[in-house]
Amino acid sequence: MNNSKPWKKYPLIASELEEVNQFVQKTIKTPHQSLQAALLQMADNGGKYLRPSLLLLAAHAVGKANKQTIKLASSIEILHMATLIHDDIIDDSDERRGNVSIQAAFGKDVAVYTGDLLFTDFFDLMLNAIDENEYLVRNAQTMRKILNGELGQMAERFNLKQTLDDYLGDIKGKTAALFRLAAEEGAHFAGGNIDQSNALAQFGENLGIAFQIVDDILDYSGGKQLNKPTLEDLATGVYSLPLLLALNQPALRDKLLSLLNKKRQMTLADMQKVQSILLDSTVIDDSRKLACQYAQKAIDNLAIFKPNPAVLLLKKLPNTLLTRSF
């Protein structure tokens, strides 16, 4: 299983991630044979299984993982896959996890239905695992936060007046909400009390914000080693943290406006000029500093827990994500 490789050195969850992977593979079913193969490849190629890992570690932080948490970890990974497929349609991305994306291989119409199909798989697994109304509602609320974050980001495309608060509000929804749900569900369904569940929920949210900021930094500064193309956000008018910080500096703003005003007419050379302006400034370092602040907030959220192997791994996770070594 490719997904669990980063966690092989952590026997605590390695076998459980294998179970999650098997559950995901068993759950994803479509009558279209080539599409089925592509989905299974997507599930097993290059994905970090970060959200399932977070859920399982949260479970071990308060107790033990169980069949219920395995199902919930699987459901969250399938939900994540569905959002990735829809993101690729919106961004017209040809590549996902180092392979041809579903929308590039099969067309946008098939990709829309495939993402929708995975949403139904998510709900089936979630409903099979949960019989508490509170957490059925919590899952529905998380879906709404994710979609509102995506819609907020779309509404801000090519908006030179977008604020840092706008940006943070969008990433709290589109990225951090699922991190929060994973950590909270792991704690709750492993027997954690309300304080433990709340602390891990906040940990997940802060971790998700830090993760997305680093992801946005990588859109300008890296990519191939992470199966992620660079400048993708810029090409689609998504102005993430490094660019927003640059636009708040008059000298950099003056350099950028003539390029950004071209919007969808920007050429690759134009985008590379924007990239060069950002990389030659302090905005990448400034963005990383903000990511570090959220990473530290996440670590601080774990202060109520007594040390155990899972808690120690969770405390290491924010800084691991800052360097994106997996």
pLDDT of residue 114: 85
Task: State the Cα–Cα distance between residues 107 and 7, nearest whole angstrom.
Answer: 34
* CB atoms closer than 10 angstroms to residue 299: 18
Q: Kindly report the average pLDDT of the chain as a whole number.
A: 89
Average pLDDT on 238-243 reads 96
**3 occurs within a structural domain:** no
In a domain, 269, yes or no: yes
Write out pLDDT tens, residues 172-217: 999 999 999 999 999 999 999 999 999 999 999 999 999 999 999 9
Is 125 within the bounds of a domain?
A: yes
| pLDDT > 80? residue 65 | yes
Task: Copy the structure tokens of residue 227.
Answer: 């199966």
Single-letter amino acid, residue 307: P
Query: At 304, which amino acid appears?
Result: I
What integer pLDDT is reported at residue 109 of this predicted model? 86
For every residue of 64-105, DSSP letters joined together read: ---HHHHHHHHHHHHHHHHHHHHHHHHHT-SEETTEE-HHHH
Rounded CA-CA distance 25/22 in Å is 5
**Which range among 228-232, 241-245, 315-319 shows the weakest confidence by mean pLDDT?**
228-232
| Residue 247 is assigned to a structural domain of this protein | yes
Check which CATH number belongs to the domain holding 40 and give it. Answer: 1.10.600.10
Residues 154-159 have a mean pLDDT of 94
Question: Is 62 within a domain?
Answer: yes
Residue 2 within a domain: no
The verdict on residue 303 lying in a domain is: yes
Confirm whether 4 is domain-assigned: no
Residue 60 CB partners (closer than 8 Å, separation 6+): 12, 13, 190, 308, 309, 310
Examine the pLDDT at 89 and tell me if it is beyond 60.
yes
Q: How many domains does the structure of the chain reveal?
A: 1
pTM of the model: 0.91
Containing structural domain, residue 290: 9-323
What's the confidence (pLDDT) of residue 8?
59
Q: How sure is the predictor about 94, in pLDDT bands with cuts at 50, 70 and 90? A: confident
> For residue 1, what pLDDT is reported?
45
Range of 80-84, 105-109, 228-232 with top mean pLDDT = 80-84
Q: Of 191, 180, 179, which Cα lies nearest the Cα of 60?
A: 191
Distances (CA, A) of 187 to 68, 103, 132, 225, 323: 12, 36, 15, 33, 26
Q: Residue 326: what pLDDT?
A: 44
Beta strands in the chain, from DSSP E residues, in sequence order: 95-96, 99-100
Average the pLDDT over each of 70-79, 112-121, 188-197, 226-235 and give the range with the smallest value: 226-235
Stretch among 54-63, 69-78, 85-94 having the lowest mean pLDDT:
85-94
pLDDT in tens, 249-307: 999 999 999 999 999 999 999 999 999 999 999 999 999 999 999 999 999 999 999 99
